[in-house]
Each structure stands twice: as C-alpha cells, then as structure tokens.
Chain A
Amino acid sequence: MSAPPWRSGSTNGNNRNGAFHSVNSRKTLSSRPIHHEGTQTLTQTSASEQTPKTQFPDKLKDYVARTFEDCPPEEKVAVELELKRIITDAFNEKVVWSLEWDKMPLPQAILARKKVTAKEEQTAKTLSMGQMSRVSNETGSSPSSPFIRKPNYSNAMDVDHPGKKRKSTGSSEELTPPAPDRFEERFDKRSRQGDKFLPTSGKLSQREKDKRAKRFEDERREYLPGSATPEAPDNKKPLIGRCMDLEKRYFRLTSAPNPDHVRPLHVLERTLEMLKRKWRSEANYSYICDQFKSLRQDLTVQHIKNDFVVTVYEIHARIALEKGDLGEYNQCQTQLHSLYREGFKGHEEEFKAYRILYLLHTCNRADMNELLANLTPADKEVKAIKHALEVRSVLAAGNFHRFFRLYLEAPAMGGYLMDSFVARERKAAMCMICKGYRPDIDIRFLTEELGFESDTDCVNFLCENEAADLIEQKTGDKGVPNSIRFQTAKALPLFERAKNAAFSKVDIKGQL
C-alpha cells in the first residue's frame, strides 16, 4: 500500500507527524471508523475557512453544555477558564469546525491530566536535566495542546496548501482518501519511521528504551487508572520539531517541549552555519552562548546524536573557552566525553588535551589518574596532548620556570584553559621565589619567569596582591635608576595567603 500522504518521503512531513505522536495514538482509539476522517477533514476545513469566527458548531454547544452538566461547584471557576482556553485556542488555530467536539475530553479531564503531568514533572525534577527533558517528552501530549484531534488539523493544513511548503510532496495522492485499514498502517508506519530515524535521532539503545518504558509504565498505572488512554501512547519515538526559525532564544524547559518551538536537524544545521558566521563577524558572546544553548536543547529533546552534535558541542566548547566561560565549557566537555565514547567522530585528541588541562584547573587527581590510565601510546604522540601532559608533570614538580614557558607556547585553545589557573600558579610560584631568593629580586626576572607580557603587567600583579610597598627602585653609582627590585622576604606571608585562597576555591557547575 502506498504511504499515507503526510508520510510520503520528505523529512518535514515526518517531522510534523512525529511531533504529534502521543496525540496521534490516542486518536487511533476512537471507535469511529477512521477511514472517513481524511475526507471529512478536507470538507470541514474548507468550510471553516468560509465560516465567520463568531459562529459555533452545534457540537461545540453540546460540549459546553456537557461540561457544566457534571461540574462540581468548587471546580467551576477552573473548569470555566479551561473551557475558555480550549475554545479560544480552537478558534485561533481554526480547528473549531474540524474538531470532533463530541469526542473531545471535557475540561475537567484535561485539568486532571495536567495535574498528572505536573506530578510527573515533580518526580522528574530530581533527575538530571537531560533525563528530565526525556521524561517530559514521554509523558505524552504537551499541556498546551489538549486537542486530541490535532493531527487532523495538521493534515488539513497540508491539504490546504499542497506544495506551498517544501515539506509536502504535494502530489494528487494527498487528496486521495486513505484506505480503510489506514490507521493500522499509520501505526506501524510510525514504528518503521522510527527505525529509519535511528541513525540520526534514535541512538537510544533498546535497553534504555525498555528501561524508560518500564519506568513510565509504573507511573502511568498509578496515575491514570482506566483513563482515556487504555492503550499506551506511542512514547518511544523521539520528538521531531517543526520550527523553521534559524534563531531561537534559550529557555530552560519547564514542561514537555512543544514541537512548534523545536527546530528539526536540517534547520539546526543551517543554524550552526549562521552562528559561526555571526560569531566571526559580531563576536557577541552572550548572544552566541544563548543561541548555542537553545541549539543544544533542540538536539537533546529530539534525541539527536551524531557527528553534527559533536561539532556543535566542540564549537560551543571552543567559544566558551575563548571567553573563559568554564561552566559552559564543562557542560560541553561532559557531553563530548560521552559522545566520543559512543564512537561519534570529532576532534577527540584536541579535547583530550583540554580535559587534561581542565583537570589541572580543578585539581582533580582521581580523574587525572583515570585519564592517564586510558591514554593510548598514540594519544601521547599528539602535540596538544603531549603539551598538556608536560604541563601536568612540571606542575607536579613545582617547576614554574617550565610551566610558564609551556603557558606561552600552548597549542590551539589550550592557552585559554591555562589562563584559568595561571593566576593561581603565579601565586604559588611567588611563594617559592619569595622563600628561595634573598634579599630581593629584579622585576624583569619575575616578568620572565612568571610569563608576564610586560614589566607593567608584573608590577600590576604585585600591586593586586598588596605587595606594592615592597617594590623599590634601585639607583646605580651615579644616581641613575638601573633596576626595579622586589623585596622577597617580606612578601612571603602575603603570597602564602593569596595562594591558599586561590587554591581553596575551585568550583565548577556540572563537574565531570
């Protein structure tokens, strides 16, 4: 049998329907013979186009009547609000004529469902962010779309504008009423569709799926006894967005993602190109970071895992490094770590080197040991990793002389990472210098040994550490100033204090 029109080939068509998954499946439950649907929708929709908004379908009137028929007085206000919302939404979305109001759950039922969703989110809160978005994804319909008939509406859109949007193939096939057994077809179409999507979005192993399914089975049984969905909604399919905008502000999700606001992969790919261009031309970090976060979020909620995702995280990580945003960098690094482990390709060596430097920053010895244990001989030949390992080893030896040399010759973005602990190590080095050299020391020597760019920088550093008084100018035989000296002995306690303070606080969110 030929594929239903909204499924035929093009990715966008798939996206749209996939996005409505939970809603869809519920529809298949309706006892009504489904093969009428397509035709009906078609006619009804065209009718709705002509009908003035102010008219109400009879069935809607019945629906309102039914709503208030068995409404307990204490809930009346809430129900009324909900009803209002439903009808307004229906009008706004021009489905008021196509909806089967007699099949529509009453506002009371929708409110009850919302409560359940809220409850589930409560439980999900304890889970990590990533899991959380998956959870909300699972719980089925997004609270803002109570229309169980929504798929029809989207079909209608397709039919109304064949070929207008790139996604529909726009053949005459679209207008053909679906065959009688179409809902079954549609059902397993979807599961096949899912398989097709595996390489891009379905990198979820069967095991994970089972686990999740089990987890939610329990919850569903508990919260929805004999509800309107005796058949479990098709919750294993990842959501696929339908948003075509390149830009989107980041918003931390508090509910199930709405496919209308999620961009599908092919849009995201263009988004990345645009962001790269913008970063080069404008370099507005707060804008770029925000955009990358929403990009990452869209990838996460759609369960997309592939080399493109690696690229996104790598670029964001590099930009974050450049701006010294270690929190954001670490989130990217954590993701990259697991993506590489799952075999996705990117610049693994480069990021391994960063990770070594990062672990030096956080003084995480246990993980460093772990990382060393997992380095291959080939890794150790990579320039960046070699550099990072050497940094580690000279730091362990307290060899600040070599350390600051390595700082100045760090490959790629390594220097930015080292920036994060150079200040700290300078203080440590100052302690050793103050203890080791007597009675004083040339500022120029400090500049060179501590990797400052100029004597001024060095003096500034000393002043910042309240050691300004200990800098003095020495004059030669004829009263000509020949060097600026720093009195080491007195400075030791100052730098001891500074060093201890600097080493005591290393705190990064999302610590890997």
Chain B
Amino acid sequence: MTTLYKSFRRALTTKDGALLGCIFSLENPDRGTYAFSTNHERIRGDVEYEISGLTHLRDENTRAAWVDTLVTYWKIAYILERDDVADVSWSKAYEGQKDLLLAMVRGYTKGNWPHWTLPVMYQICLSLRTVAISSDDQARSLGKAPEHLEDAARYINKAFTLCISDRAPIEESRKWGTYYIVNLMFKTYFKLNSVGLAKNILRVLPASLADMPPLEAFPKSHIVTFKYYCGVVSFLEEDYGNAETHLTYALNHCKADSIRNKEYPLPQYLPAITRLKHTRLILTYLIPTTMLTKHKLPTPELLSRFPRLAALFNPVCKTIKSGNLQAFDAALRHGEEEFVRRRIYLTLERTKDIAMRNLFRKVVLYQNEENRTKIPVRQFQIAMGCAGRGEELGAGGYWGGNDGNDDGEHGEVEVDGDTVMRSTPERVEVEVEEVECLLANMIYKGLMKGYISRERQTVVLSGKEPFPGTVV
C-alpha cells in the first residue's frame, strides 16, 4: 500500500481536511510512488480496493466521487512523474487537472463531501492554476497561443459557485471557502491582466454577503489577501479613499502578532519571510495612496525595513520633500519602468502637487513676515525654474535659511537620491502664464489659500494658514 492511500485513510477517519488537501497538492512527495504503483488498466480497481471499508465512504455516491477523484489524480501523477521532466506535456497535465476539478465538483454536488474537505477544493484549484501557467509557458515557447490560464479561471469560477451557493447551515457550509477561492480568482485575473474581471467578482459578491458570516470570522490569511486585492482594485480605479481603507485593514491584520492564527480550516504558519513579502506588497500600493490622500510620506523607519520599497520610493519622496520639481520629474523618469510595471506610475505622478506645494511654501517662508500675504508671481517663477541639487536648495544658496521647511511632513527620508539628482538639468525657464496656471491649480485643489491678481502680477495669500495642514 502506498503512503498516499494511508494518508487518505487517516485523513478521512480523523477528518483532517488539511492532510486530505495535501494529497492533491502538486508538491505531494508521495506522488511518485503513487504514479508507479499501478497502470491505467488497474488503477480503478486498486483505488477501490485501497479505500474500501472506510465508514466515511459508506454512501455509494461519496465513495464513487472519491474513487473518481483519486483515479483522475493518478492520471495526472502518471503524466507528471513517468515522462521525462523536459518532455512533460503540460497541456495534457492541464486537461488532467481540469478533469480532477470536475471530479471534485461532482464530489461536492453529488457525493456529499462535507465542508471540512474544503482544503481539497483549495489544492485542486490552486494546482489547476499552477499547471495552467506552466502549460501556457510551454505553449509560448512552442509559439502557440497561451490560453489555459484563461480557461482555468473559468473552472475556478465553478468552485466559487460551489462555495457561494451552498445552502447548508453556516457551521458546515462551503461558504467558508468563498474568500480563498475569490483570492485565487483575483490572483489569476491579475496575472491575466484583466482587472475588469476582478471587478466583476466584487460586483457579484455583495449579493451573497447577507447570509455570510462577518469578515472577521474567516481565517485571517483569507481576509488579508482579499482586502489586499480589493485595495488594489480600488487603487487602479483611482478610488483612493476605499483603497486606503482596504489596504490599511490588510496591513493591520498582516502584522506579526496576528499572523499566528490557527483558525479553521487551514492552519497558516506563515514564515516570517512570506509575511514580510505580503506586507511589502500591501505597502507598494498603500504608500502612494497615503501620499495622495493624506499627503504623508513614508517614514525612514518604515522604509528601512523594506530595502526594495526604499529603493522604489526614496528618490521620489526626497524630491517631494525638497520641492525640487526638476528633480521630481527626473526621479519619476528614472523609476518609470518599474513604476509602470507596478501600476503606480500614474498615482505617483500626481504627487507632484505636493512637491509643488512644498516649493511654493518655501517661497512664502522666504519672504519677510510682513510681506507674506502679497507675493509677486515672479518669485514663484524663479523658484519653479530652479533646479538646485536637493540639499543645496535648503542650505545656503538662493534660499538662504533652512527655515522650517520640513515640519509639515511626517518623518524625513534621507536615503540617497543623488544618482537621480545629478542627471537633472541646471535651470528651466517656465513661462509666467504656466506658473500662474499651476498656482491656480494649487488654489483650486485647496493646497494653497489665496488668489492671483493678474493686473498686479501678485499672489494674494490668506493671512491664516495659506498652506492648510502644514503649520504655515
């Protein structure tokens, strides 16, 4: 008797869902022996014999469904184990995985599989996705069109329906699997670059939320991921308010102390490295979001824990702080490829407003106390054209003092942005109309209080808090 059958029997008798799920994982170490244990002719007989006598399988339908599932799984194992690694036909394996998923669906619909076997569903959906990706890679290398992942998404959708449409009492409902499957679908849609489809799920989901347990009742691992995807979808839709809410929720629940949850159904002992990765992913979107919504830059303490995020955001953050617009543009150009790839370019681009606000604020602070309400447009024009090199801007040079230029921000970031700075041009002349236009912009967006008087070529600033929220 191969180990696989032993695990299967044990899982069924002890109702160990996780163990049962592992059997159908692509990483199951017993797969090899299982594949070599028999042949196509005899596999069904073998399975029937090996799993006979289990109390759980007294129901004929339940038993038949398990036999089918194990036989189908064996066929996949056969393809994956008995061919040379280089020759494995992933598309054949994919077809097998699809059959496996369908056998699983029958197991739940006809075979009355209980809800504690949900990990089986998870593993089967997960490996369908993994195999589909391998198959598509193989197709691409053969010059064929990759289409299995798209197909896989449709099949995972069947599992989603299985979960969400279960009418059993909530304690033993498949509804507990909803978020796991939804996350898998999100993951697949993102991989396929079709955020639109992801939005579709979010449209469908609320309808069935009514008879679902509250979010907090679900395993945290499911919920954190779910919230992360909700956040990213909102982010991409420019709904930054919601993005912030979702991502903050995800971040707070992804913290070290909350990760040791042993809740039903899958105990998730996430290794620290995975947790860090998750946090980093959340922060990749949360940082630009907060920069826009709250005008907050990430603190050095935060970034110091994530070197990759530091490399990503520091150059831009630094220029925002200094209000050096030329350097800001350079930093954005410098990281453009990476930003675009992570879909944060268009968001970061908009933080230029804050950089500009900081610059204009410096112009105001540079004036004598009594002149601070009426400032010639020319002053702003000079400032905008200035391309001083970061530090010099504050220290000496044109701006004189270092007067309180940073107190409005939350924490300083002083990681090296020099490579970016050096490539910036010396000076750019900006037309006075453009300066006025951008000043109007600031005023319109509420970053500055006051108005422009075109006849006098002056900006008349509010006496009280001309730059709301910055202590000036």
Contact = CB atoms under 8 A, between A and B. Distances in A.
Interface stretch (B163-171, B345-353, B418-426): B345-353
A399 B236 contact: no
A396 B441 contact: no
B145 A442 contact: no
A453 B222 CA distance: 59
Given A207-B144, A435-B440, A445-B454, A373 B341 contact: yes
A436 B195 contact: no
Given A433-B440, A435-B444, A366 B195 contact: yes
Contacts of A445: 454
Interface in B154-200: 193, 195-196
Contacts of B353: 397
Contact of B340 (A373, A393, A398, A435): A373
Contacts of A369: 236, 340, 343, 345-346
B440 A436 contact: yes
Given A205-B145, A372-B340, A449-B433, A442 B440 contact: no
B138 to A, nearest CB: 14
Q: In terms of DSSP, what is the predominant structure of the interface of chain A?
A: helix
A399 B440 CA distance: 10
A135 interface: no
A365 B439 contact: no
B348 to A, nearest CB: 10
B26 interface: no
A315 B433 CA distance: 39
Given A370-B193, A373-B341, A436-B451, A398 B145 contact: no
Interface in B415-469: 431, 433-434, 436-441, 443-445, 451-454, 460
A368 B340 CA distance: 10
Nearest to A368: B346
B398 to A, nearest CB: 24
A233 B350 CA distance: 60
Given A365-B238, A369-B346, A401-B431, A431 B444 contact: yes
Contacts of B441: 397-399, 432, 436
A490 interface: no
A393 B332 CA distance: 12
A437 B451 CA distance: 5
Contacts of B350: 396-397
Interface in A160-219: 205, 207
A210 B442 CA distance: 59
A83 B433 CA distance: 80
B210 to A, nearest CB: 30
Interface string B131-156: 00000000000001100000000000
Contacts of B196: 366
A87 interface: no
A448 B454 CA distance: 14
Contacts of B444: 398, 431-432, 435-436
Interface string A425-443: 0000001110111100110
B236 to A, nearest CB: 6
A432 B442 CA distance: 9
Contacts of B452: 436-438
B437 A207 contact: no
Contacts of B443: 432, 435-436
A165 to B, nearest CB: 41
A366 B343 CA distance: 9
A399 B343 CA distance: 23
A402 B193 CA distance: 33
Contacts of B236: 365-366, 369
A372 B338 CA distance: 11
A10 B340 CA distance: 53
A401 B345 contact: no
A402 B435 CA distance: 11
Given A207-B145, A442-B454, A432 B346 contact: no
A437 B445 CA distance: 14
A400 interface: yes
A432 B451 CA distance: 11
A442 B350 CA distance: 30
Contacts of A436: 436, 439-441, 443-444, 451-452
Interface in A364-402: 365-366, 368-370, 372-373, 393, 396-402
A396 B454 contact: no
Nearest to B238: A365
Contacts of A397: 349-350, 352-353, 438, 441
Contacts of A433: 440
A438 B440 CA distance: 11
A399 B341 contact: no
B437 A437 contact: no
Nearest to B446: A435
Nearest to B145: A207
A262 B241 CA distance: 55
A431 B441 CA distance: 9
A250 B206 CA distance: 45
Contacts of A435: 440, 443-444, 451
Contact of B440 (A365, A373, A396, A437): A437
A173 B361 CA distance: 92
A401 B432 CA distance: 10
Contacts of A432: 437, 440-441, 443-444
A446 to B, nearest CB: 11
Nearest to B448: A436
Contacts of A372: 340, 345-346
Interface string B9-26: 000000000000000000
Contacts of B453: 437-438
B76 to A, nearest CB: 23
Nearest to A441: B454
Contacts of A207: 144-145
Contacts of B340: 369, 372-373
Contacts of A402: 434, 437
B148 to A, nearest CB: 12
A383 to B, nearest CB: 19
Contacts of B437: 399-402, 432, 449
Nearest to A370: B193
18 contacts: A207-B144, A365-B237, A365-B346, A366-B196, A366-B237, A372-B340, A397-B353, A398-B438, A399-B434, A432-B443, A432-B444, A435-B440, A435-B443, A435-B451, A436-B436, A436-B443, A437-B440, A438-B460
Given A396-B349, A397-B438, 11 more contacts: A365-B237, A370-B193, A372-B345, A373-B340, A401-B431, A401-B433, A432-B437, A432-B440, A435-B444, A437-B440, A438-B452
Enumerate the 8 nearest inter-chain pairs by beta-carbon distance, A residue then B residue, closest first.
A436-B440, A401-B437, A438-B451, A432-B444, A435-B444, A398-B441, A432-B440, A436-B443
